[in-house]
């Protein structure tokens, strides 16, 4: 079956066209779009780690601090150093077209068969030696939790259908009661079910990323109400409003230290070639519009979105940094000098990896260097070794979180592992 699908995917590519290096950086050169009956659909199958470990830069160590999880997605380092892990699988959306059925089959080949945990797991390293000797369930019965945030004794969780709140006391190992709903989130269809979340620097607001219900409005614009945007939510009352729009699927959010600026990584649209459209990193501007569905990378018009809106296209903001097409960026975290001179200023990005590109891309954690608060220079590989070859991968990075004590925490939802990458002491 896999061979047949591979042949089909290759057969529908325009004659003489080959995948090239995806457009990356602050000023990427975008290729011409390519249309085909089916996009390339190739995904590496799960492989065992065995005695192998991910590859990290010289001077760093990597350790599996938790295994046997149930689809870990995002993590949160608590004030006492404990780590919370959100585990969930999401409902997905019903197939709309025959190609959706094929794509669903292909995607499933590259996923863990483990059911989602619908829970939060707590990890504790009591003596600070980098070994997390405690692993227990903090809360369960959630609905595909993803985003996490802590504000003044309130632990907020973005389920696929609502933001909920637990009371939290420093050092607590289990929730003291069921969560209280702060506000409902768009949940119909849920083509993109993940709800990324972060808290403002002053703790007044939560920001929640809500992905589109389609690739390029094939379900109609009615299905996109309140979607493809970031909400700003009052953390006390639950009142909310659109903060920025036109972001096809904002999969991870973070606040820049010192400035308080909101940043996001965004997964862009598919089906116009192996090198379009680049997923991106962006400083999210209040009231900003980022193009979806009418255009991409600023004013590059996508004629598939009908009817067009020239005024929207003219207003579309160019993102700050292209990460490459189909890398599926699902994690973002600002670094700190505690990670060493080479990685002191910039962001780490977790790339889950492509399902619709040959050869595959992503399947790693990269570091985007910053200077004077903005991206500056080429992204460098920070954590690799997940992808064995074009047919096999040991893991798929999702959330990345900086532990201020000096480590990067990486969730891997294929091997169901939490990795810790730290400077060697």
- If we measure between CA atoms, which residue out of 366, 346, 373, 362 comes closest to residue 396? 362
Residues 60/339, Cβ–Cβ less than 8 Å = no
Q: How confident is the model at residue 16 (pLDDT cuts 50, 70, 90)?
A: very low
Q: Which residue in the block uniquely carries the two structure tokens 């009615």?
A: 222
3-state secondary structure of 7: helix
Tokens standing for residue 241 = 């409003």
Put simply, whether the predicted model's pTM sits higher than 0.85 gets the answer yes
Give the C-alpha distances (Å, rounded to integers) separating 108 from 42, 44, 114, 174, 279. Answer: 11, 11, 12, 33, 22
3-state secondary structure of 384: strand
Indicate whether 15 pLDDT > 50.
Answer: no
The overall average pLDDT reported for the chain is 93
Is the bond into 277 cis (omega within 30 degrees of 0)? yes
Cα dihedral 114, 120, 121, 127, rounded to 10, equals 150
Indicate whether 55 pLDDT > 70.
Answer: yes
Tokens standing for residue 364 = 């790693």
Q: What count of Cα atoms within 13 Å lies in the side-chain half-sphere of residue 214?
A: 16
Kindly tell me the burial class for residue 53, based on how many C-beta atoms sit within 10 Å of its own C-beta (0-12, 13-18, 19 or more).
Answer: middle
**Nearest 5 degrees, angle CA 386-CA 390-CA 394?**
25
Cα dihedral 84, 123, 108, 3, rounded to 10, equals 130
Residues 420/95, Cβ–Cβ less than 8 Å = no
β-strands 397-403, 407-412 pairing: antiparallel
Residue range 23-42: mean pLDDT, rounded: 88
Q: What does DSSP assign to residue 365?
A: E
Distance CA 305, CA 341 (A): 45
Distance CA 333, CA 203 (A): 18
β-strands 45-46, 392-393 pairing: parallel
Other C-beta atoms lying within 10 Å of the C-beta of residue 351: 28
382: left (phi over 0), alpha (psi -120 to 50) or beta: alpha
**pLDDT attached to residue 6:** 37
Other C-beta atoms lying within 10 Å of the C-beta of residue 14: 9
Give 76-128 pLDDT, tens digit per residue: 999 999 999 999 999 777 888 877 887 888 888 889 999 999 999 999 999 99
Q: How confident is the model at residue 7 (pLDDT cuts 50, 70, 90)?
A: very low
Phi then psi dihedrals of residue 110, to 5 deg? -105, 15
Phi then psi dihedrals of residue 387, to 5 deg? -85, 115
Residue range 175-192: mean pLDDT, rounded: 97
Q: Which residue in the block uniquely carries the two structure tokens 């999969």?
A: 251
Distance CA 82, CA 124 (A): 5
3-state secondary structure of 144: coil
Structural domains for the chain:
2-12+34-423 (2.120.10.30)
What contacts 148, CB < 8 A, 6 or more positions away? 74, 75, 76, 84, 86, 120, 155, 156, 157, 158, 197
Give the C-alpha distances (Å, rounded to integers) separating 305 from 29, 56, 270, 290. Answer: 22, 42, 13, 14
Tokens standing for residue 146 = 């993803």
- If we measure between CA atoms, which residue out of 124, 72, 133, 96 comes closest to residue 352? 72
Percentage of residues of the chain with pLDDT beyond 90: 87
Distance CA 26, CA 228 (A): 22
**pLDDT attached to residue 393:** 98
Give 140-178 pLDDT, tens digit per residue: 999 999 999 999 999 999 999 999 999 999 999 999 999
Please give the residue that has the higher pLDDT: either 120 or 19. Answer: 120
Distance CA 13, CA 40 (A): 8
Give 294-328 pLDDT, tens digit per residue: 999 999 999 999 999 999 999 999 999 999 999 99
Residues 5/274, Cβ–Cβ less than 8 Å = no
Other C-beta atoms lying within 10 Å of the C-beta of residue 422: 20
Listed range (89-98, 125-134, 288-297, 403-412) with the worst mean pLDDT: 89-98
Q: How confident is the model at residue 22 (pLDDT cuts 50, 70, 90)?
A: low
Percentage of residues of the chain with pLDDT beyond 70: 95
Please give the residue that has the higher pLDDT: either 355 or 379. Answer: 379
Tokens standing for residue 248 = 């096809």
Indicate whether 14 pLDDT > 60.
Answer: no
Indicate whether 4 pLDDT > 50.
Answer: no
Rounded to a whole number of angstroms, the CA Rg of the chain reads 20
Tokens standing for residue 277 = 């459209």
Q: How confident is the model at residue 21 (pLDDT cuts 50, 70, 90)?
A: low
Q: What count of Cα atoms within 13 Å lies in the side-chain half-sphere of residue 330?
A: 27
């Amino acid at each position: 079956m896999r061979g047949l699908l591979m042949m089909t995917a290759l057969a529908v590519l325009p004659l003489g066209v080959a995948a090239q290096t995806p457009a990356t950086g602050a000023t990427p050169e975008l290729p011409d779009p390519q249309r085909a009956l089916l996009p390339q659909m190739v995904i590496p199958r799960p492989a065992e780690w065995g005695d192998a470990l991910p590859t990290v830069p010289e001077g760093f160590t990597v350790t599996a601090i938790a295994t046997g999880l149930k689809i870990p997605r995002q993590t949160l380092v608590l004030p006492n150093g404990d780590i919370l892990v959100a585990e969930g699988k999401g409902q997905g959306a019903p197939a709309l077209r025959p190609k959706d059925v094929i794509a669903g089959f292909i995607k499933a080949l590259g996923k863990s068969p483990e059911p989602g945990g619908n829970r939060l797991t707590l990890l504790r390293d009591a003596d600070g030696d980098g070994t997390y000797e405690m692993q227990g369930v903090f809360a369960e019965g959630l609905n595909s939790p993803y985003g996490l945030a802590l504000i003044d004794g309130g632990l907020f969780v973005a389920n696929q259908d609502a933001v909920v709140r637990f009371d939290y006391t420093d050092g607590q190992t289990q929730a003291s009661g069921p969560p209280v709903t702060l506000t409902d989130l768009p949940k119909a269809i849920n083509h993109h079910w993940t709800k990324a979340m972060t808290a403002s620097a002053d703790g007044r607001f939560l920001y929640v990323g809500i992905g589109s219900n389609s690739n390029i409005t094939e379900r109609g614009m009615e299905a996109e109400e309140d979607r493809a945007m970031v909400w700003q939510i009052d953390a006390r009352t639950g009142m909310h409003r659109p903060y920025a729009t036109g972001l096809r699927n904002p999969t991870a959010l973070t606040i820049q230290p010192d400035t308080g600026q909101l940043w996001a990584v965004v997964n862009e649209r598919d089906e116009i070639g192996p090198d379009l459209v680049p997923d991106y990193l962006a400083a999210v501007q209040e009231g900003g519009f980022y193009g979806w569905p009418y255009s991409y990378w600023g004013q590059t018009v996508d004629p598939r979105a009908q009817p067009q809106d020239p005024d929207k296209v003219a207003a579309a903001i160019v993102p700050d940094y292209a990460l490459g097409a189909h890398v599926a960026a699902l994690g973002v975290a600002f670094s700190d000098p505690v990670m060493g001179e080479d990685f002191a200023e910039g962001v780490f990005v977790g790339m889950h990896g492509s399902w619709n590109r040959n050869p595959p891309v992503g399947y790693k954690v990269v570091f985007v260097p910053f200077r004077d608060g903005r991206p500056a220079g080429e992204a460098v590989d920070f954590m690799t070794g997940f992808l064995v070859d074009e047919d096999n991968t040991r893991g798929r990075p999702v959330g990345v979180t900086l532990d201020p004590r000096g480590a990067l925490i990486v969730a891997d939802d294929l091997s169901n592992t939490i990795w810790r990458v730290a400077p060697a002491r």
